[in-house]
Amino acid sequence: EPEVTQTPSHQVTQMGQEVILRCVPISNHLYFYWYRQILGQKVEFLVSFYNNEISEKSEIFDDQFSVERPDGSNFTLKIRSTKLEDSAMYFCASSSGGGYSREQYFGPGTRLTVT
């Protein structure tokens, strides 16, 4: 069964450093998302991406964040200068889009720890 994959599973970085989180969405999906989950809290939307541009973004997704689809398979989230409060699980999701095809399938997540 196709699934969303994410690398790395755990990333430790120092405050102020740049990090790139990587995702490979399900191959025939057209819409891509990043969500985050601070420990013990609910899953929060960051950004959605379609046709090589951002469709929607939340207030969390400020200028420190960017997304890119560098090739036909990868989808990345970059945090330019990490802060302590960026420590969270980051989930990538994808959906096929179109009509009623809104089911979003999540990857296993990357745990980001900022020290």
Partner 1 sequence: GENVEQHPSTLSVQEGDSAVIKCTYSDSASNYFPWYKQELGKGPQLIIDIRSNVGEKKDQRIAVTLNKTAKHFSLHITETQPEDSAVYFCAAFPYNQAGTALIFGKGTTLSVSS
Instruction: Please report how close the Cβ of residue 16 comes to partner 1 at its closest, in angstroms.
Output: 28
Residues in the chain: 115
Distances (CA, A) of 48 to 56, 59, 64: 5, 13, 16
Which range binds partner 1 by CB under 8 A, 12-20, 49-57, 62-70, 72-80? 49-57
Interface residue with partner 1, options 21, 87, 95, 114 (CB under 8 A): 95
Instruction: Pick out residues in 53-72 that bind partner 1 (CB under 8 A).
Output: 55-56, 58
Q: What phi and psi, each to the nearest 5 degrees, are found at residue 11?
A: -130, 125
Q: How far apart are alpha carbons 39 and 82 in whole angstroms?
A: 17
Which stretches of the chain bind partner 1, using CB under 8 A? 4, 30-31, 33, 35, 41-45, 48, 50, 55-56, 58, 91, 95-98, 100-109
